[in-house]
Amino acid sequence: MVQDRTGSLKPFMRDRLFIDIYESCKHRSASANDASALTQVVIDQLAVDKGDGILRRGDIVSLTVKVLGRFDQTAAAVYAAYHPEMP
């Protein structure tokens, strides 16, 4: 479950994360493959970090920016621009 800004819980949607990462990687020639792999890295790290089953939106955004930043600074900047909520 993902806790949004208002404290409401919503189901985690892997596809939504994939689309957001894909949109950030559109400038790359293998954007779909890159986005798929990066999405899995983010999910794997979230699973390690969150044993209680509650993911905070800000934590997802921060981790995704961090993962993207290690891979492609432009993708990280694009993602951060569309997801300004940082914890």
Average pLDDT over residues 70-87: 89
Query: Is the pLDDT assigned to residue 14 strictly greater than 80?
Result: yes
Query: Is the pLDDT assigned to residue 69 strictly greater than 50?
Result: yes
pLDDT digits (tens, 9 = 90+) for 33-58: 999 999 999 999 988 766 677 888 88
Lowest average pLDDT, out of 16-20, 54-58, 72-76, goes to: 54-58
Q: What is the pLDDT of residue 87?
A: 47
CA nearest 60: which of 72, 73, 47, 51? 47
Q: What are phi and psi of 3, to 5 degrees?
A: -95, 120
Q: What is the pLDDT of residue 50?
A: 61
Average pLDDT over residues 18-43: 97
Number of H helices, E strands in the chain: 4, 3
> How many CA atoms does the CB half-sphere of 45 hold within 13 Å?
16
